[in-house]
Amino acid sequence: MRQLIECVPNFSEGRRMDVIDRIAQAVTAVPTVRLLDRSSDADHHRTVLTFVGAPDAVAEAAFQAIRTAAEWIDLDQHQGVHPRIGATDVVPFIPLEGVTMADCIALALRLGARVGAELGLPVYLYEEAAARPENRSLAALRKGGYEGLKAAIRTDPTRQPDYGPQQLGSAGAVVIGARPALIAFNVYLTTPDVQIAQRIAQVIRHQDGGLRFVKALGLLVGGKAQVSMNLTDHTKTTLHHAVEMIRREAARYGAGIASTELIGLIPQRALLDAAAWYLQLDGFTPNRVLETHLLPERDGSAFLDALASAHPTPAGGSATAYAGAMAAALVGMAARVTMANPRYTAARPRMYTISAEADALRVLLEQHVREDAQVYDALIAARRRARAEQDSPHAQALLEQAVLKAAQVPLEAGQTALRVLELAAETAAISTLGVLGDLNAAASLAHTALETAAFNVRINVRGIVSAAADDLRQRAAHLHTAGRALTDQVQERVRARPDDQLSDG
């Protein structure tokens, strides 16, 4: 069974895009982790990332992001309207698929211990992972902010961290925990009077007697009063209920709602519930939504439509990675079909391992689809700059770096496809006979992916004389040789199985 955990860390930086890029890159550099969303706000001076993956990979991505934020964010120089106590302010783990809340709690504890020991940062556990009842609430841990915690952590026994030193540096402390999915949602009022937003927040939040699963603050953002909310269980306190309560409370002060803002991602059900409520749709279910029925076809068609468009990305590199991802999906399917066949009991343990690795490789290749488009867009920008600044050594150096990066991404996709080929070859030797045709297709797709990747590497570094370029060429040549040998191996194993047994149920 696939294991999927969501992580939604908040960082105290919303203005320096280069720093935010570094933190995001620390996440995407971890294999199999998918960065789904990044949301930054200059007034809050805050960035929220949303990424998903298997438990260990997500924990590693969170650690690398915390390390990067600690290196680049100085809270002694930080000013924003949102409460915070750390460069990485809070890191929650949310169970999505194949994991429990207990798994997320264990992950939070392991990450907390590692951050305290290796990075020397104070760590507090919160929500479901809280070691002390008084620390369940994030608001309680943030009381006094970074500035207040600086003194309290040394003298107040109730503010001692769960891991790490009992002192605060410029990167502050990190709050790590486990919780259910929540919705971060802001409502802007038609007034600059922040006291109105603060009064409304006090009325709607649970700790002051308001809505059960709502946390809220009143802030001044961009010259407008804002009610900033977290809905911790949107199935029990709905988003539209909270918004309508804000609307009614604002009307008491002669104000209204100017606009709303979503931070990060939102469960589809919350939007469908709001639509059904406002439209007064009786008996509505998500099954009545057209896209619910079309979703499998819609995803593939969207990619093909983008591939066929006049925009230069996505292009061949992304298509190459997509072919590799399809190959990985076929290998995973072949392993699962084999596991389900009672005649192949002896092969089940290895097939289980192969299916899990194939799933991870598919996620990684899907990530390469997006990364190839990103690096090619960056290469186009670097070429334009080099043409505009022909006499600039700096512009030329940036162009060469962009070229090498544009070669590195397809190379990594090709190496991933090579591993898919290795799994296809192994699976073909021990799988149920009925999936041999699928494994042959997987091998063909993976071989096409790595051959095209190797060609893209050679094209990108053509004319560049450097040790880095030579290394890329050598690795591309290895892909070509190893890929051909493995493809032949798969085909030989398919041919070696008796023709009259190719459908063994």
Please count the CA atoms within 13 angstroms of the CA of 113 that sit on its side-chain side.
7
CB of 435 closer than 8 Å to CB of 461: no
The CA–CA distances, whole Å, from 63 to 85, 116, 176, 491 equal 17, 11, 11, 42
Please count the CA atoms within 13 angstroms of the CA of 446 that sit on its side-chain side.
34
Spatial separation of the C-alpha atoms in residues 364 and 33, rounded to whole Å: 7
Got the DSSP string for 402-414? Answer: HHHHHHHHHHHHH
Q: Is 82 among the residues known to form the active site?
A: yes
- Among residues 45, 82, 368, 447, which one is catalytic? 82
CB of 445 closer than 8 Å to CB of 323: yes
CB of 329 closer than 8 Å to CB of 282: no
The two three-digit tokens of residue 325, written as one number: 């991802």
Q: In sequence order, what are the beta bridge partners of 412? A: none
Cα maximum dimension of the chain: 82
Spatial separation of the C-alpha atoms in residues 105 and 390, rounded to whole Å: 55
Element (H, E) at 395: helix 393-430
Spatial separation of the C-alpha atoms in residues 421 and 331, rounded to whole Å: 9
Find, among 374, 473, 479, 375, the residue nearest to 420 by Cα: 479
Cis before residue 410, ω within 30 degrees of 0? no
Q: Compute how many other C-beta atoms are within 10 angstroms of the C-beta atom of residue 90.
A: 23
The two three-digit tokens of residue 363, written as one number: 């996620």
Spatial separation of the C-alpha atoms in residues 220 and 189, rounded to whole Å: 10
Spatial separation of the C-alpha atoms in residues 14 and 12, rounded to whole Å: 7
The CA–CA distances, whole Å, from 138 to 91, 117, 141, 469, 505 equal 11, 22, 5, 49, 55
Spatial separation of the C-alpha atoms in residues 429 and 493, rounded to whole Å: 6
Spatial separation of the C-alpha atoms in residues 381 and 491, rounded to whole Å: 43
Integer-rounded Cα Rg, in Å, for the chain is: 26
CB of 185 closer than 8 Å to CB of 229: yes
Which residue type does 392 have?
A: S
Active site residues: 82
